[in-house]
Chain A
Amino acid sequence: MHPHQHRHSIFCILPPHMLEEIARSGGPEHREWALQTLAVDSTMRSERVTEQLLRVPTASLATPHKERFIYTANHASTLPGALVRSEAQAATGDAATDEAYDGFGATFDLYWSIFQRNSIDNAGLNLIGTVHYGQNYDNAFWNGSQMVFGDGDGTYFNRFTASIDVIGHELTHGVTGHQANLVYHDQPGALNESVSDVFGSLVKQYAHAPQQTAAQADWLIGEGLFTTAVNGVALRSMKAPGTAYDDKVLGKDPQPAHMSHYVTTTSDNGGVHINSGIPNHAFYLLAVALGGHAWEKAGLIWYTTLCDPRLSSNAQFQDFANLTVDNAGRLFGAAEQQATIDAWQQVGITVTATQPKISGNWVLHYSWGPTQTYSQVGLSFNSNGTFAGGATGKWQQQDGTVLLSFDGGPAKYAGTVDGNIGSGAMSTFGALDGCWYLSKQGMVGLTLSSAGGAPGTIDAAGTEHPEHPAANDRVAELVGAPS
């Protein structure tokens, strides 16, 4: 008698005692299959699986290390200057000092809380800034290891600490430097700039009280930096590139929103602040399409891509777009992947999606014949086309169609997988057909349809999927011959 822990009553054409008979006296193949059928794994494992494959490197330090140092250059231009505020010190009353301090904190908090990134280098790097740099200095920059802020000229520009997204923008240059290190010219440079605008904008939305959704955000970069003398609202607009300002002195915002208007120039390192409008707009479109807070999905897709080892320092817009689409599918699913494709399409970049291959830890729920309940087994999918865990076997996948075959028996499971859910029909000896679902380990809220529900029908968070073709047809498609 096969030991069991959690026996699910299996209402199948072959009652359990017959399966046991097969297990005892059948040929090796049948025996394996019968044992496998009878075997139940322990209930769905509750251990959390951290998706290391998809997630960025976790923090090297167990606790976040937020350490801020604000200096003043006292209107000279020597760096870093004199220390005026350290971590945990009270506000000084100097607006530039306190705005820099708060902006550093908000940037750190976004990266830690949302992306589990421990400061710029993911190892608790101190955040250093110098305010009151120069006289009438109308700029802010990242010098490779610290931020530098001017006070503006007072005529056209206010102090540069006044815009929290500019602070997030500059610190994000540090993050990029520690990740893909996109070279600062032409398309990779525009991507570098865009990534800084994206996360700068997320800092602003995240720090806003109350926090802003993508729909509520204004998607302006550097709002508040212009004086009233300027005919403009911000340095840039991600929502409407090219509309941020149109001024007698500053000129007209030159940003394009589409590849057809890509600006080829030798100025600005090949237009890194100009052509950033294109990927900026793609991010805005995706964030609004997905809804909610922009950092939840779009932000994670972008952050994962920035940290993706496949993103080279010379990446072109197309390369970056391809990776965001791939990561959207791996992180979330087909809907998010399509939304990402659509966003890039709207800015003139075409990405063809490849369905990500099934990987990692899943739970297989299987139900033989007209059964009422499902048994579960944990499976771990390897990249070499095998799976292991509660059962071992092989898998094949073409786009969203997947086929599982088991080492222990002739059963073939065929169906589709989409994001975190798979479902389909199974064929075995012909008489013992059934249906199955796959759910990503850790997924909750999956409701499996009971007997009487058509195979392939699924209720997961209220979503229904269409019925799948007969298992045998699917098997023939995948293996090229009747099994």
Chain B
Amino acid sequence: MRIRFQSDGGVGYFPGLDGPVIVDTAHLPPEEGARLERLVGAADFFSRPEAADVPAPGAADLRRSTIAIEDGGRSRTLEVIDPVEDSALHALIDALREAGKAARNH
């Protein structure tokens, strides 16, 4: 499973967290890869309609997350804006964001 994750916005802009996080679960430690794939499954990612959220009027400092996943023959891109009320999707975003930070912390 290949995941491309991009986060934009937030109360602070951090150049280190701006770039895309690119993950191939096959190249992660097995436990890590499995965890991510579980989160993608729990979020029912491939059943969601491809969509791009629009921010509410007057909203500020919210985060926009773009997730593009390719797995086997299927692929899907979602663009979601805070608040991401779906807890499973929220958990997936958190995990991808943490993966990005960890990747920079070598």
Contact = CB atoms under 8 A, between A and B. Distances in A.
A177 B26 CA distance: 46
Nearest to A156: B101
Contacts of A184: 55, 59-60
Contacts of B18: 251, 267-268
Interface residues of A, number: 50
A155 interface: yes
Interface string A133-162: 111111111111100100001011000100
A155 B94 CA distance: 13
9 contacts: A140-B11, A141-B10, A144-B58, A170-B11, A170-B60, A249-B101, A251-B17, A254-B13, A273-B13
A173 B8 CA distance: 18
Interface string B31-43: 0000000000000
B56 interface: yes
Contacts of B104: 248-249
B84 interface: yes
A177 B58 contact: yes
Given A141-B60, A173-B61, A133 B101 contact: no
Contacts of B29: none
Contacts of B12: 222, 225, 235-236, 273
Given A135-B90, A170-B60, A173-B58, 5 more contacts: A139-B63, A141-B60, A141-B61, A250-B14, A273-B11
Which residue of A144, A170, A173 has the most chain B CB atoms within 10 A of its CB atom? A144
A174 interface: yes
Contacts of B82: 139, 141, 143, 148
In terms of DSSP, what is the predominant structure of the interface of chain A? loop
Interface in B63-106: 63, 82-87, 90-91, 94, 97-98, 101, 104-105
B16 A143 contact: no
B67 to A, nearest CB: 16
Closest 9 CB pairs of A and B: A251-B16, A251-B15, A177-B58, A273-B13, A235-B12, A144-B58, A173-B60, A144-B56, A141-B61
Contacts of A142: 58-62
Given A78-B85, A79-B83, A248-B104, A254 B11 contact: no
Interface residues of B, number: 34
Given A135-B90, A267-B8, A77 B60 contact: no
Interface string A151-195: 001011000100000100110011001000100100000001100
Contact of B90 (A79, A134, A144): A134
Interface string B1-22: 0000000111111111110000
A249 B16 CA distance: 6
A196 interface: yes
Interface of B: 8-18, 55-63, 82-87, 90-91, 94, 97-98, 101, 104-105
Given A77-B83, A247-B16, A269-B9, A139 B59 contact: no
B98 A136 contact: yes
Given A77-B83, A268-B9, A269-B9, A252 B60 contact: no
A96 to B, nearest CB: 15
A140 B85 contact: no
Contacts of A196: 60
Contact of A235 (B11, B58, B101): B11
A471 interface: no
Which residue of B61, B84, B104 has the most chain A CB atoms within 10 A of its CB atom? B61
Contact of A141 (B17, B59, B85, B101): B59
Contact of A139 (B10, B15, B58, B101): B10
Contact of B56 (A77, A143, A250): A143
Nearest to B84: A77
B13 A135 contact: no
Contacts of A144: 56-59
A170 B11 CA distance: 9
Given A77-B90, A134-B90, A140 B15 contact: no
A76 interface: yes
Given A77-B90, A235-B12, A170 B56 contact: no
Nearest to A155: B101
Which residue of B9, B16, B58 has the most chain A CB atoms within 10 A of its CB atom? B58
A268 B17 CA distance: 11
A181 B59 CA distance: 11
A249 B105 contact: yes
A385 B11 CA distance: 48
A310 B9 CA distance: 29
Nearest to B6: A267
Contacts of A169: 11, 61
Contacts of A136: 94, 98
Nearest to A235: B12
Which residue of B13, B17, B56 has the most chain A CB atoms within 10 A of its CB atom? B13
